[in-house]
Structure 1
């Protein structure tokens, strides 16, 4: 692998408390990683063909997944990678998709919704890895933030409330799952569509633009610290929201060299997810404190709340749950019907199973 600091994006990823804006992230990916000219394509690989074990020398895999980058470096697992990896400080569905469309990265880590919307908006992609939480209902990825002055003690209390809603992101799908779990419909609430999440959701709650909004665990403690004295609360969503994927443009897995590099990467990626679960304190310090800028107390809160991860070596159950999500979005958002298994490249399922010593 290249040494740290060999690309602008990697330098950015190692800077403490760095806040990367959308445009800056894409700029770094495009000009920091590909500014030296268009990459040469490897031999074409049919989607039904076996993935080669090794790429040609000089193949570079461009990855947008700063959390895994941190885990690999902290654990020493990056020594197991024989392929060259260039890291981009890009995460989240919109930034990752934009980087794909700019041909700036080859693979990225996101929740289960961004690959669906990439497909529905015309970008041909394949999912190449999956991760879930060991006890997802006790360790949700999101909680429902409740604005000061509002009372929401149960999901049924959402009736009549203004709820923040981002259709193309994981938070939007979570809202639909929560409504279904509560026996409510979109007509029972006022969905306030927002194109941005994270701090925007906190600000919308604080200003009472919305009554309820899904908040990632890294924001829950911050939100309560600022506004609990005014009556702000949170409740657990009561539904699974733990699905995580690696996905790539189809061009990545149709390039024999990139596909081979990815085959090696997903195996080490899977080990990194296990390492995170087994070393929460080290990961909290290295990623949430040094990379994301949280306080040590908030970082500890996040890793404890998120719990432990599992990387399945069989994707059957994961895909079945993903199909349920697809069917919900088809019904509630009028999306085009989709057999979600068509998006999964199960050649990488076998690679992950071999890396973890399981059965495919």
Structure 2
């Protein structure tokens, strides 16, 4: 397909500061829910979600778990150095593996107050852990790429335990506040299980065990994917040509059972969150790569879906190719990365509906929403503002059906 010209000004709107939810509600499922279907908008409570989803729905959610990715150190001079974990680089780039490492690890990071940190200088932190103390060391080994090596003095303790014991919750920058104790549990979905995200898949924050029970009682099916959300999700678009925006790469892990479930229910897939959308659609394009014999690596570049092709395979053929490959290679799980960029002009291959929060103006996520709603995205967001919906990560929810 030909890539359309995108004028970012068409995807801006005014978001007053007071509309940004700075804290979560007392109850997860007490949030408002905007329902959009066939051009009609209704305003409900999130507890109505089981009533709005057809009984044959396959609900796909992202089970990634947020790690306390913000590590704070102090130099001997007293200067505070803040290290934000972005992507692991050594001894592996696979997030689940590096989280279980019990020896030195290297991460690409963002560094606050980096000018105060000398090349090669070792920073020390004392971490209380199960009745004893662990000494965590951080060494800046490459200033240009912001690579930091972490070591600790207890080889029985995995890196994930070190981070959990010492790090701060990586709240989105637009909240403009320090994390508090409440954030440890509330900036996390109730079904999170795979450590590695540095931002929450916030559409899932509204779900509770009671909501899941009602969904299951209705017969609604579930499947899990894992996409470890990166800090790039907050990166604003600055490029004059939108397609020049450097899309963030995020790790995907999907098991064979999920691929099989989707193949059985291709017409009824509803994604919980934009991260699930990105994963499901990326998997379609991975199947295309397999069918086109363009390699077996799960790696979707941002504009791969927009390459000109005479014929595209069906969703069934694409996911069938993935399943066949997994069986042939005796794989229970496939893993890789995606930079997929979904903007108006894209045609969804898998997802029929989306549960999501309300996103920042001029962002990659608002472009994704506009791809679902067309020009109606402005009406939807206008009504949300007029009806006092709470916006962004701790804000209210919506159920949107693709036009």
TM-score (norm 2): 0.23
The structure with the greater share of residues assigned to strand is 2
The structure with the greater share of residues assigned to helix is 1
- Bigger Rg over Cα: 2
